[in-house]
Structure 1
Amino acid sequence: MDTVAQLTIVRHGQSTANVAFADAQACGLADHGLTGRDADIELSPLGWQQATHLGRWLATRPADQIPEAVVCSPYRRARQTWAQAADTAATLGSPHPQACIDDRLGDRLMGDLELLTPLMIARRFPAEAARLAADGLYAYRPPGGETFDDVAARIGAVLTDLNSRHAGQRILVVAHDAVVVAVRHLLDRLSFTDLDAILTVTPVANTSLTRYVHADGRLALVEFAATPHLTG
């Protein structure tokens, strides 16, 4: 077997930025009050609860479904998600691996537009808002930031390394919705246009699970953006 046996990707729990962005948009505000770096954004109270639910669900998995290695984004919200989930599972008698941090699993870099809502971009950088509209979300490169092709390139390198180092093993990745999109682009050979249509119907929710298993010499999608573990 030249790939991992199973690849599960978890998006981090709800973050304080997720809440602030939604509140600002709902109220039509051009400011959300956030400061600092995106990488330092923490989980919201709901995000901690979601991570706890994830840990409880992990504790119910049979031995042959427990991940043999965990790889995590360096962003605080992702690290907090796994720490809370793993601690919860361990308390329930199901120890899980400590996460290895891979800097390549970070969220899409937005450069000068980091932590800005669409309205904030339109007000502060109208030329960039126009360029974003012209290029489209996936092809647009923010000043000092990344396109989705850039994200896919670094995630492709992560997948290559995982397959090389962990062939035949069950791997859990804790990261971001952009990482899930990049993985589906690479493994399912879907264009970003096709993915956009899928995401309109099934967004990558906080703490959702996307899972691939090895079949017929490749990793095949068996679950996408699933959330039953949050309500069970």
Structure 2
Amino acid sequence: MATRIILVRHGQSEGNVAAERALAEELESIDVPARDPDIQLSQLGREQAQALGQWLADLPRDEAPDLLWTSPYRRARQTAEIAGSQAALQLEARVDERLRDRDMGITDMLTAEGIRARYPEETERRAWIGKFYYRPPGGESWADVAMRVRAVMTDIRTQAEDRCVLVTAHDVVNLLFCYVAEGMDEEQVVERSTTNGLRNAAICRLRTCDEAPTGWVVDDYNIDEHLRRAGIAVTDQPGASDEVGPTAQEAK
């Protein structure tokens, strides 16, 4: 049997709402209600998590998860708790700090406008290095996060052999699970983030495959039918800790 992963981005959070508001109002900073690890789901995010739970409840028994591996951040844990309760799942749970959201360093809680205004040299450096490898002072690059993700995927493969693992985490983290599994390069993963970024409470499904070049296959990406079927709003919002930064074009 294959080891399988049901990979889920957390539901809409209060940080997502704050980040979207800051972008709409062209503000320099994001007025988040708590430090990043403590940001909770919005009411809509809770409803999205319930819809996820119904999707899990409807899975055939041999496709349902039997282990939870979650980010320690509250919005991810809440998504798992609400969905698990809705689906009446009793899952062995593992909290793993390697699944936390990307650390943004000195740019945390700033919009792209705020970074341009307060750290113009970082705007130039990011434009030169590119989105994948740029590391804000005190923070992480996508490549840094990918190293965390690779380690988790190795542990899942060796410690949860032939099991189905529900992973609840964050948009960039989950995108990089797929980056590793599909063997994408820098250009491909950045393009996907731009054209098909992961939506709140969206599902990806991965499985081990010895014949695949990476040892993994992505069977489903960015599924949101469970939300649409339940009449729940589908949201694709920036995270408060991974706000869309300035592009090379903007920096010119």
* TM-score normalised by structure 2 residue count: 0.85
Report the AA paired with residue 228 of structure 2: T
Distance (Å, rounded) in 2 between the aligned partners of 1:14 and 1:36:
15
Matched with 1:27 is 25
Q: Deviations over 1:130-166 (max 9, x none)?
A: 2222222111111111111111111111111111111
| 1:125 matches 2:119 | yes
Aligned mate of 1:148, from 142, 146, 149: 142
Residue 165 of structure 2 aligns to a residue whose secondary structure is strand
Farther off after superposition, 157-166 or 191-200: 191-200
CA–CA distance in structure 2, aligned partners of residues 228 and 179 of structure 1: 21
Q: Matches of 2:106 and 2:33 in 1, distance apart?
A: 13
CA RMSD of aligned residues (A): 1.6
Pair 163,205 (structure 1): closer, same or farther in 2 beyond 3 Å? same
1:43 aligns with 2:41: yes
Question: SS in structure 1 opposite 2:132?
Answer: coil
* 2:228 equivalent in structure 1: 231
Distance 1:126 1:117 in 2: 13
Question: Where does residue 165 of structure 1 map in the other structure?
Answer: 159
* Partner of residue 113, structure 1: 107
Displacement of 1:219 after TM fit? 2.2
The equivalent position to 1:56 in structure 2, one of 30, 54, 57, is 54
Residue 202 (structure 1) aligned with residue 196 (structure 2): yes
Could you tell me which runs of 5 or more consecutive residues in structure 1 were left unpaired when the two chains were aligned.
none
Shift of 1:171: 1.1
Amino acid across the alignment from 1:126: P
Q: Name the residue aligned to 1:89.
A: 87
On the 8 A contact 1:38/1:115 being kept in 2, the answer is no
Give the secondary-structure state (helix, strand or coil) at the position aligned to 1:220: strand
Residue equivalent to 1:72: 70
1:221 aligned residue: 218
User: Is 1:175 aligned with 2:169?
Assistant: yes
Q: Hey, what does 1:102 align to over in structure 2?
A: 96
Q: Between Structure 1 and Structure 2, how many residues are aligned? A: 226
Change (3 A) 1:148 1:32: closer
Cα deviation for residue 184 of structure 1 reads 1.9
CA contact (8 A) 1:67 1:96 kept: no
Point out the more displaced range, 122-131 or 41-50: 122-131
Is contact 1:13–1:43 with CA below 8 Å preserved after alignment?
yes
Amino acid in structure 2 at the alignment position of 1:19: V
